[in-house]
Amino acid sequence: MIEDIEYIQISKIDKNRLYSYYKRLVHQFQGFTPIQIIAKFLNGQSIGTTMQEVLIVLEYYKTKLNVNRELLDFAFEWIRANKMRSHYLKYLGNAQFPDYEIAIDACIFLFFQKYDQILRNLFRSEIEEYEISTLYGIFFTSLEDKDYDFNKILQEQKNRVPTITQETNRIDISLYTLRSGLSSIIRKDYNKTRRE
């Protein structure tokens, strides 16, 4: 497992610098709505292939946020995920896994299991598991992957990842959620590193 200090370095983002850039966009694009500015902000950080794709995701998740969280917090997590993707890819390229199944388990255990706790703190407790799983599919998909379709990913995950409760207690299926959202991404990345 990655040491806590190393994980902090991998997942650290410069919120002050990012916030300063965001504020410049607020002043520059006064005719834009707040959500459009955040989409522009994320595009400026190389997030999403188009502003429209980013807007679709922001619109969907804005009502799922915890009461003490804002859409800008969500944007910061998307940026953090993008940074983590580059570290995970470097690890995947250097590691010598005999097959992609072992690569999937190792990457989830080393990189994404801790991040799952951070990500879930953004949202209300009622968020569905398929919505979290979908978010992994969005946050960690390669920009080169042109078949990125939020509604398609959401529907696939809805059919695959249930939210399970026993009486009034929610059963923790976070590992299943992680595997569902990330397996195909890690497999593609694994195969790509093997060809290089």
Question: What pLDDT digit, counting tens, does each position of 76-131 carry?
Answer: 999 999 988 988 898 898 888 889 999 999 999 988 998 898 899 999 999 999 99
Q: Quote the pLDDT of residue 7.
A: 61
The model carries a pTM of: 0.90
Average confidence score pLDDT of the chain: 89
| Structure confidence by residue, pLDDT tens digits, 143-154 | 666 567 889 999
**Which helix H or strand E contains 165, and what residues bound it?**
strand 165-166
Local confidence band at 158 (pLDDT 50, 70, 90 cut-offs) = very high
Q: Quote the pLDDT of residue 95.
A: 87
For residues 93 and 168, give the distance between their C-alpha atoms in angstroms, rounded to a whole number: 43
Phi and psi at residue 165, to the nearest 5°: -125, 150
94's CB contacts (< 8 A; 6+ apart) are none
The four Cα atoms 10, 69, 54, 78 give a dihedral, to 10 degrees, of 0
Q: Quote the pLDDT of residue 78.
A: 95
Structural contact between residues 187 and 101, judged by C-beta atoms closer than 8 angstroms: no
Cα angle 23, 27, 29 (rounded to 5 degrees) comes to 110
Q: Is 191 exposed, middle or buried (0-12, 13-18, 19+ CB in 10 A)?
A: exposed
